[in-house]
Amino acid sequence: MLSILEPLQHVFRLSIFTIFLGFFLDTTLAINSTLQLIKKSPELYLQGIMANHLNLFLLSPIYYIGAYNLILDTQDTDFHVSKYLFIIIIHHICYHFLHQWMHEIYELSWIHSFHHKFTLTTPTSGNAVTLYEFQLAYVLPFLIGGFITQPNLIEFDLSIGTISLFNLLIHTRELDFLEYPDFLVSPKDHLMHHEIKSKTYSAPIFNIGYFLKKKNE
């Protein structure tokens, strides 16, 4: 029998966490950037907020219900750090290449073009993507990682929460002073990507491009 209520409870908790944390950061730490963006283009900021809500409250529940019923091990209650980390790594690898293709393959560029209207970013810009990009580059990597690892609810939810948190942080201009090791993606790295679109396709934690470069040296 298809389970709906429990997965909805889980996905709405994750979506509310992301929405409220993004709004909190927009109006506290990143208030200067938020006010600048609203002054520069109030329509774009509102479009970004709308995209956040559509992606997190419309699309996410649909895919989470599917994952809950077809992929997740809902009987297991032990936390396996290896599964949690594997999902995050798979997400990074998938996102790196999908992101790169959306920049380098002309036929895919329209999917990602809305996100790059945010040359002036705020934390909520992290989820200001088209419905198509959200499904392709945000959701699909989680489904692939989940299909491979068969995680339980704790591992799956924590991996989503972790990616969501760092996605907000790398779009926070007020954190661009932070220096990260080369194998990690700093806010400065990602903000540079919004200016120079041909650099740093990886996000939001591990710099997959760094490892690929090391592999080829």
d(CA 102, CA 109): 5
Query: How does the average pLDDT of the chain come out, rounded?
Result: 97
Which pair of structure tokens corresponds to residue 39? 């002054």
pLDDT per residue as tens digits for the range 165-196: 999 999 999 999 999 999 999 999 999 999 98
pLDDT at 123: 98
pLDDT per residue as tens digits for the range 94-115: 999 999 999 999 999 999 999 9
3-state secondary structure of 207: coil
Q: Which of 36, 14, 12 is nearest to 26 (CA)?
A: 36
Higher pLDDT, 198 or 135: 135
pLDDT at 197: 85
> Is the pLDDT reported for residue 217 higher than 80?
no
Residue 198 banded pLDDT, cuts 50, 70, 90: confident
> Is the pLDDT reported for residue 128 higher than 80?
yes
Q: Span 38-57, mean pLDDT?
A: 98
Q: Where are the alpha helices (DSSP H) in the chain?
A: 5-27, 31-40, 42-54, 60-70, 81-104, 106-113, 131-133, 140-149, 153-170, 187-195, 208-216
Q: Span 7-26, mean pLDDT?
A: 98
Output DSSP code: residue 138. Answer: I
Q: Span 149-161, mean pLDDT?
A: 98
pTM greater than 0.85: yes
Residue 1 banded pLDDT, cuts 50, 70, 90: confident
Q: Kindly report whether the peptide bond that precedes residue 204 is cis, defined as omega within 30 degrees of 0.
A: yes
